[in-house]
Amino acid sequence: MRRFKVVVVEGIIGVGKSHFSDELALALTSIGGGHTLTMREADQEAAPGSFHNEFYAEMQEEDETKWKNWATLFQFDQLSRRYSQHKLAQGWAKSGRGCAILDRSLYGDTCFANMLNNPDEKGRKRIPDSLYDLYERIYGDMTEAVLLPHVMVRLTIRPEHSIERIRRRGSQHETRASEVETVSVAYQRALDREIGRLAQVLKKLDVLVLDVPWDADRDTVEMRSRVIESIADRIIEHEPTELFLNSRFSDRWRRSI
């Protein structure tokens, strides 16, 4: 019997994950049946108590003595919210109600944590090693309680193009305006490398990884529809290995993400 899938959509900031996820959900429902559940990253970041604005404001602060660990609080908050989303998505698909799409995932969250633990040009870390070690332990405990996704869709775009989209989005949505002065081309390139590393790890765990260039944003609605429908077809026809029917995952791989 064909099973409904858990799909995670990853990509650098401004790549177009949310619009893509919405369109993919319609295609999956139309082609595969059921009702596709979609959980958007923007909804989580704008939620009360998410530390989103405090985090991006602090990212612009160069004086280390004024840092108040908003980066750490924001990252732990996002990890918690994405864990809850993943459990909901997993339950939704396993119950036979339909596919579930996660616009940024529990696994993708680690890319941002790694970035914040990497030293900047002055050797400073936004998340110090002691708190990063705690993040890794909590992440490890969380991943022991959930199954891996069936599919990862990795949207790719030129970093320069993504910056243009971030600026447009910031002028249209107040909650995203703080990203405009913070996200640079260099940051996007480093983030893309982290997401690429994540994709390689998930591939080794037999997750179907689909790399989708999304630079042009597709010239017409018809062209976008054809591309998204072809992706939906691959997701629906994909038959996951036995690995997804149990929780026997290697601790070494689990924690290497």
pLDDT of residue 248: 45
pLDDT of residue 180: 65
pLDDT of residue 64: 84
pLDDT of residue 246: 42
Q: What is the pTM of this model?
A: 0.88
Q: Round the CA-based radius of gyration of the chain to a whole number and report it.
A: 18
pLDDT of residue 4: 92
Residue type, 100: A
pLDDT of residue 45: 58
pLDDT of residue 253: 44
Walk along the chain (257 residues) in steps of 10 and give the mean pLDDT of each run.
Answer: 86 92 95 92 64 84 84 93 94 93 95 93 91 94 89 95 81 60 87 96 93 78 88 93 48 45
pLDDT of residue 175: 52
pLDDT of residue 73: 93
Distance CA 156, CA 45 (A): 22
The residues, any chain, with a CB within 8 Å of residue 137's CB and separated by 6 or more, are none
CATH code that applies to domain 6-256: 3.40.50.300
Specify the residue for token string 């018809």.
Answer: 222
pLDDT of residue 210: 97
pLDDT of residue 145: 83
b/e 188-216 (16+ beta carbons within 10 angstroms → b) = bebbbebbeebbebbeebebbbbebebee
The CA-atom distances, in angstroms, between 66 and each of 69, 130, 182, 195 are: 9, 19, 17, 30
